[in-house]
Amino acid sequence: MKSLAKIKEWFGSRKSKSKKRYEEEKREFEMAMGKPFIIIKIEIPKGFEDQRAQFLNLEKDEDFLEEIRDLIKKRLTYEKRGVKPT
C-alpha cells in the first residue's frame, strides 16, 4: 500500500512540474510573439481585510487597470529621463 501512495505522489508531482514548465514556456512564447507583459502578485493591505471582495474585483476593474497602466507609463518616462519619481 505504501508503494501505491509513492506512485500517486510521483505522478502528481510530475503533473504539477509539467504544468509549471508549460506555463513558463507559454509565457516565453507570448513574450516573444507579442507585447511584453508583467504579472505582479499584490496582497491585500493590512487593515483592509474587511474589503476582500472589493480587492479581488480590482483584478477585473478596467478603470483600475487603466490607472495602473498610467502609473507604469509615468514611471518609465521618469526612468527614461533619469529622474527619480516622488
Domain locations in the chain? 1-34, 40-86
State what percent of residues in the chain have pLDDT above 90: 49
Average pLDDT of the segment spanning 3-23: 74
CA-to-CA dists, residue 41 to 38, 44, 56, angstroms: 10, 10, 12
Task: Write out pLDDT tens, residues 18-56.
Answer: 888 888 888 888 878 888 888 899 999 999 999 999 999
Q: What's the rounded mean pLDDT across residues 57-69? A: 96
Number of H helices, E strands in the chain: 3, 0
C-alpha 24/C-alpha 29 separation (Å) is 9
Whole-number pLDDT of residue 14:
64
